Amino acid sequence: MDNFVGNDNPIRDVTNWSSEIKYLNDGKISDEIRNMPKDKGGLYMFYLKGPNLPFAEYYILYIGRALYTPSENICKRAMHYLKDERYMIQEMFDNWKNDLYYRYFPDTDNIAIEKNEIALIRSIVPPYNEDIPNKIEEQPKVKAF
């Protein structure tokens, strides 16, 4: 697979991503999430900020995508997570709901969205992504001698 996260890829530039959003405020989806663009798809991530250097210590928990279609957009996808019934997503919220932060990269090119999501998940391997696209399975260990 080609590396779609090359040096010239706009997802590598932090200025192309949203500012940091606290996903929940007092147990409810934040106003910043509710006011995200409805006319774009894109990539997004849930992450934690570390306690030691919260300005520089981040733990990416989940990476996802929202295609841009008449029935799907980045805002709609973000709003869906509190009701998501997948085990790993429920576990993420059970463990971290008060500490989850969110950033998104708006895009309307669905092919680029899909390719960049795969490249990011494969390179970061976030713990709450159940499926790693095109994952290379580890082979059983065999003694050399």
| Mean of pLDDT values over 54-81 | 93
Q: Kindly list the distances between the CA atom of residue 55 and the CA atoms of 7, 44, 112, in Å, as whole numbers in the listed order.
A: 24, 19, 29
The pTM of the full predicted model, rounded to 2 decimals, is 0.84
Q: Where are the alpha helices (DSSP H) in 28-109?
A: 31-34, 74-80, 87-96
Q: Where are the domains of the chain?
A: 15-124
What are the tens digits of pLDDT across the range 86-145? Answer: 999 999 999 998 899 999 999 999 999 999 999 999 889 999 998 776 655 555 677 777
